[in-house]
Amino acid sequence: MKEYVTEIIKIDESLIEEGNIDSLKELPALQRAAELLKEGEVVAFPTETVYGLGADATNPEAIKKIYQAKGRPQDNPLIVHIAAFNELDGLVKGSLNPLAERLIKAFWPGPLTIVVDKREIIPDETTAGLDSVAIRMPDHPLTRAIIQLAGVPIAAPSANKSGAPSPTRAEHVFADLQGRIPLILDGGPARVGLESTVVDVRSERVQILRPGGVSREEIREVIGAYLYEPGEEAGSIKKSRTAEKPLSPGMKYRHYSPETPLFIIKDESSLKKLLQSGLPENTALILSDEWASKYGPGLKDIKVIKMGPRERPELIAAGIFQLLRYLDTLSLDRAYIEAIPEKGIGEAIMNRIRKASSRE
């Protein structure tokens, strides 16, 4: 594998906040990033969900560099990012059904990815040999500016070592991929903090393959009973969760894992039993603000880490990967993390916590 001198270039966050894509396209840093992508290289950049590691989605050799840099399993497909609605026509085989069109109208640009049948322009390397491709239009002006400058769809998984907590800041990317990629664009913290929701829109009903930044409740408001609910998945999708070729990232492999062994506290009674039994030394509790205020003052020699308010799960989502990375700086023997209600984005948070944990 080629070794790089990895450069980080800070982007003026006020330009990102203004959302002026044309102004961002004039920045030398973005023009350089686009040139690297055109040359078949990989570049890390922020999206509204997490930082992505991008490459030309139509270039098999460039795609291989993503897998090499991350140490990503070859059967784990990538999400393809576009900057405009008309770019879909060149990627999707056939026509989108009305459900897909309704979801796109409601949530694009934004943290929703759709799985559709692909055209041949997308190589097998991008889709891990599948006939389908996952596509989304990000709601981040810098990301869309890069895609427009490059002039190609960009495949971009999270810009981290495979299996590690996803990166929500440029320094996370550098810590994981220093020497493995040439360039990181630093656009500040990712706003959502969790990856996109992935949905399969190829049949008469829609299936959530990976919960994420768009909640089940929000999708249900748009398509109603045409959404599969938990426990009533289509047979082919059930099979894909354990098959050799999963339909979407996040379906097969353990992800988001800190090096510190992490255990889930299912409910408040479980926390009480844990405290009564006595926690071993060099242990941390990761608790909501509410539980930390209630139980924290009585604890001695146990580190309590606040993850945010239970009543504001979007704040927990925005910081959960940063928290998991921070955990590994403490040299702990183990940590316990509170489960939060699986409503709204809470479903996606608990999906990530379960994949990050050693066991419940």
CA distances from 170 to 10, 68, 173, 220 (A): 9, 20, 5, 34
- For 33, left (φ over 0), alpha (ψ -120 to 50), or beta? alpha
* Helices 141-150 & 28-38 angle (0-180, nearest 10): 50
pLDDT digits (tens, 9 = 90+) for 104-153: 999 999 999 999 999 999 999 999 999 999 999 999 999 999 999 999 99
| Nearest CA among 29, 123, 38, 76 for reference residue 252 | 76
CA atoms within 13 A on the CB side of 62: 23
Residue 245 lies in a domain: no
Radius of gyration for the alpha carbons in the chain, expressed in angstroms and rounded: 20
Find residue 117's DSSP bridge partners: 132
Residue 246 lies in a domain: no
Residue 255 lies in a domain: no
Do 33 and 109 belong to one domain? yes
Residue 1 lies in a domain: no
Domain finish residue from 240, 273, 307: 240
- pLDDT higher than threshold 50 for residue 32: yes
Q: What is the pLDDT of residue 2?
A: 86
Q: What is the pLDDT of residue 245?
A: 67
Residue 209 lies in a domain: yes
Q: What is the pLDDT of residue 108?
A: 98
Do 199 and 276 belong to one domain? no
Residue 121 lies in a domain: yes
Q: What is the pLDDT of residue 298?
A: 83
Do 174 and 276 belong to one domain? no
Do 305 and 166 belong to one domain? no
Strands 51-56 and 154-155: antiparallel
Question: Is the distance from CB of 354 to CB of 360 less than 8 angstroms?
Answer: yes
Could you give the CA distance from residue 257 to residue 325 in angstroms, rounded to a whole number? 9
Question: Is the distance from CB of 66 to CB of 53 less than 8 angstroms?
Answer: yes
Q: For 111, phi and psi rounded to 5 degrees?
A: -85, 50
Do 13 and 132 belong to one domain? yes
Question: Is the distance from CB of 191 to CB of 16 less than 8 angstroms?
Answer: no
- pLDDT higher than threshold 60 for residue 272: yes
Could you give the CA distance from residue 194 to residue 345 in angstroms, rounded to a whole number? 9
Residue 2 lies in a domain: no
Reading the block at residue 56, the tokens are: 């030309």
Q: What is the percentage of the chain residues whose pLDDT exceeds 70?
A: 94
Residue 45 lies in a domain: yes
Do 98 and 193 belong to one domain? yes
Query: What's the chain's average pLDDT?
Result: 93
Do 233 and 298 belong to one domain? no
Do 124 and 33 belong to one domain? yes
Q: What is the percentage of the chain residues whose pLDDT exceeds 90?
A: 87
Do 152 and 12 belong to one domain? yes
Q: What is the pLDDT of residue 241?
A: 46
Reading the block at residue 266, the tokens are: 């299912």
- The distance in angstroms from the start CA to the end CA of the chain is 37
What pTM, to 2 d.p., does this model score? 0.93
pLDDT digits (tens, 9 = 90+) for 292-351: 999 998 888 889 999 999 999 999 999 999 999 999 999 999 999 999 999 999 999 999
More confident residue, 34 or 231: 34
Q: What is the pLDDT of residue 254?
A: 58
Total domains, the chain:
2
Q: What is the pLDDT of residue 256?
A: 79
Supply the CATH number for residue 294's domain: 3.40.50.11030
Collect all residues with Cβ–Cβ distance below 8 Å to 162 and sequence separation of at least 6: 70, 71, 72, 73, 76, 253
Reading the block at residue 341, the tokens are: 């209600």
Please compute the mean of the pLDDT values over residues 147-161 and round it to a whole number. Answer: 98
Do 40 and 179 belong to one domain? yes
Do 201 and 315 belong to one domain? no
Do 310 and 215 belong to one domain? no
pLDDT digits (tens, 9 = 90+) for 47-89: 999 999 999 999 999 999 999 999 998 889 999 999 999 999 9
Domain finish residue from 207, 240, 273: 240
Q: What is the pLDDT of residue 250?
A: 59
Please compute the mean of the pLDDT values over residues 14-24 and round it to a whole number. Answer: 96
More confident residue, 171 or 238: 171
pLDDT digits (tens, 9 = 90+) for 203-256: 999 999 999 999 999 999 999 999 999 887 655 455 544 455 677 665 655 567
Q: How confident is the model at residue 281 (pLDDT cuts 50, 70, 90)?
A: confident
Q: What is the pLDDT of residue 152?
A: 98
User: What residue numbers bound the domain in which 326 lies?
Assistant: 262-356
